[in-house]
Structure 1
Amino acid sequence: MQLDLVDVFAAGPLTGNPLAVVHGGEGLEAADMLRITRWLGFSETTFLLPPTDPGADYRVRIFYPAGELPFAGHPTLGTAHAWLSAGGVPKQAGTIVQECGIGLVDVRQESGMLAFRAPPLLRSGALDPADLAETIRLCGVNERDVVAGVHAANGPGWKVLHMASDDAVLAAEPAARAPLHTDVALLGPRAADGGPQWELRAFFADASGRLCEDPVTGSLNAAVAQYLFAGGLANGAYVAAQGRMTGADGYVHCRQDTDGAIWIAGKVATVSAGGAMPRPF
């Protein structure tokens, strides 16, 4: 097995969300993959495997410290980058097809970035009063600054608070602990200064129940983009910023094509490639 370390959605060197990609994970059990993920300590680690679907170029299993995810955004772009860097050639010119827990996901190379096609939302619509109150508590925001609270689940079960401003997003003081499988997030508009148009923060519960902040989150941005485009709050394309409260500086490029497809793009860079991993664990 080989291990690559990749930086995803970075605006500059080492400012994005780190990802570990394990090549040659055949034969590893899910428990082994989870052990490796927890030991590495990143928000996600992926395991490259031969595809089982004839339409896919590769299969990936995505783990975070509390278990396995059917889909995640920065692992999708980081894994595609690692697969290409290791000599992978897509069956369909110009489009990489990833097989993961939600099925097939298209990934493209464009303008020095990689972009994935946002999968459809599994759940959308307004949070009910109980969910809204709990999400406000977990995120640690002032209820008066909340414009809306919505479900935006696309693998992770995101519950998103649309805030009045980026200042309200950055001022949030999230709870220390949360139930397992908690995925909550904040979204707010930024000042029109020529930079990114939206500010995001994302929080998830780790295996111990600690509420952690993710530096830059592709699945969340894919879900939020569908909310913004559907509601007329964004048109054509925009850039979202995420990670400032974690020391990161992530830029996520979100675009809606004329056919309605939404693409989530960012820069991806190799930090270290080809590190040998011994067996067994």
Structure 2
Amino acid sequence: MSRRFSQVDVFTSEFLRGNPVAVVHDAGAVADQDMAAFARWTNLSETTFLLPPTRPGADYRLRIFTPGGEIPFAGHPTLGSARAWLDAGGVPATAGRLVQECGVGLVTIADDGGRLAFAAPPLRRSGPVDASDLAAVVGSLRLGADDVVDAAWVDNGPGWVGVLLRDAADVLALEPDYTAMGDYLVGVVGPYPEGSDARLAGVHFEVRGFAPSLDVPEDPVTGSLSAGLAQWLIGSGRAPSSYIAQQGTALGRRGLIRLAAEGTEVWVGGDTVVGIRGTVEL
């Protein structure tokens, strides 16, 4: 059956510089195994399926698949799917605000003149990383314990553990051992020094996200990870209440993620570009 299909580049205003997500529209009748098979076929970090909502207050329901299976939440698919839904004529119940139903519940997405931002869901797991987990994670990054400033669980669904390094250059120099990483999903962040070109351009941190257990060795730009990192870094005073993180540099991308704390919420936003519109036989 022919269904509308979109591919959206997320966290960029320049097509081909962000993180793409494949979006299948009107997917209510697509079988679970076909969703999983299509996600393996696209071989993108995430493929999503738009369905009618089942919960009051939601504008649409979203299912999110990596090549390795379904996950309850992810950031760049949330923004990219919202852009695809709007681009296809979706009209939210409340102007300027979309409500997405997904595996973690209802996620609010603000539309600020075309730039979308989602309210970070609560962390499912937070706090210090125990010694055995930390040793395994640090070892998989080919680092020593002294190279790490701090680490914390920043899990809002996928299972992220965050690792803070001293400098963005240390983040960019990483050459992880994906086999040793096992089932850990590891997000690494480091600050750009004052006076650097990145800081002068408004970028505070470099981020990299590794998820080999989901068949995504390195993700180009990761909204869920940046959401969890922002909740940790802002909450601990290591980051200002509003900042920009850059991700994808090591892969030849330039994703820019805008983080801002407003009261008790952290908002995660960025630009989105619809690069492909068509149909898919699914």
Q: Is the 8 A contact 1:141 1:168 kept in 2?
A: no
Determine the C-alpha separation between the residues in 2 that align with 1:152 and 1:250: 20
Secondary structure, aligned partner of 1:233: coil
2:217 to 197, 206, 212: 212
Measure, in 1, the Cα distance between the counterparts of 2:139 and 2:53: 42
Retained in 2: the 8 A contact 1:139–1:172? yes
Equivalent position amino acid for 1:270 in 2? V
C-alpha deviation, 1:92, in angstroms:
1.3
| Mapping for residues 144-183 of structure 1, pairs under 5 Å | 144-177=146-179, 181-183=183-185
SS across alignment from 2:48: strand
**Helix, strand or coil at the partner of 1:81:** helix
Alignment partner, residue 279 of structure 2: 276
Partner of 2:232: 227
- Whole-angstrom distance in 1 between the partners of 2:174 and 2:152: 18
Identity %: 45
**1:194 aligned onto 2:196:** no
The alignment partner of 1:89 has SS state of coil
Please say if residues 256 and 262 of structure 1, whose CA atoms lie closer than 8 Å, have aligned partners that are also in contact.
yes
Shift of 1:50: 0.3
Offset of residue 184 of structure 1: 0.7
Cα displacement (A) at 1:71: 0.5
What does residue 253 of structure 1 align with? 258
Which runs of 4 or more aligned residues in structure 1 lie more than 6 Å from their structure 2 counterparts after TM superposition?
none
Provide the residue aligned with 1:244 in structure 2: 249
Task: Give 5+ residue unaligned stretches, structure 1.
Answer: none
Structure-to-structure mapping, 1:119-138, within 5 angstroms: 119-138=121-140
1:268 CA drift (Å): 0.3
Secondary structure (helix, strand or coil) at the match of 2:281 reads: coil
Work out whether residues 65 and 206 of structure 1, in 8 Å CA contact, stay in contact via their aligned partners in 2: no
Task: Using structure 1 for the length normalisation, give the TM-score.
Answer: 0.94
Task: Please state how far the C-alpha of 1:228 moved relative to its aligned partner.
Answer: 1.0
Contact 1:175 1:211 in 2 (8 A): no
CA RMSD of aligned residues (A): 1.5
The structural deviation recorded for 1:34 is: 0.8
CA shift, 1:211, in A, is 6.2
The answer to whether the 8 Å contact 1:66/1:181 transfers is no
**Aligned equivalents of 2:21, 2:129: Cα separation in 1:** 31
- Read off the aligned partner of 1:202 and give its amino acid letter: G
Q: Which moved more, 1:138-147 or 1:181-190?
A: 138-147
Q: Deviations over 1:162-183 (max 9, x none)?
A: 1011111111111132566431
CA distance in 1, matches of 2:180, 2:50: 31
Deviation at residue 39 of structure 1 after TM alignment: 0.4
Q: Is the 8 A contact 1:12 1:249 kept in 2?
A: no
Displacement, 1:90? 0.4
User: Quick one: distance in 1 between partners of 2:142 and 2:77?
Assistant: 27
Partner of 1:36: 38
Does the aligned pair in 2 maintain the 1:59–1:100 contact within 8 Å?
Answer: yes
Partner of 1:79: 81
Deviation at 1:127, TM superposition (A): 0.5
Residues 39-91 of structure 1 deviation map (CA, whole Å, 9 limit, x = unaligned): 00100000000000121000000000111110000000000000000000000
Distance 1:20 1:211, change over 3 A: closer
Matched residues, number: 275
Segment drifting more, 118-127 vs 10-19: 10-19
Q: Equivalent of 1:116, from 115, 118, 123?
A: 118
Instruction: Give unpaired runs (5+ residues) of structure 2.
Output: none
- Asked whether the 8 Å contact 2:136–2:180 carries over to 1, the reply is no
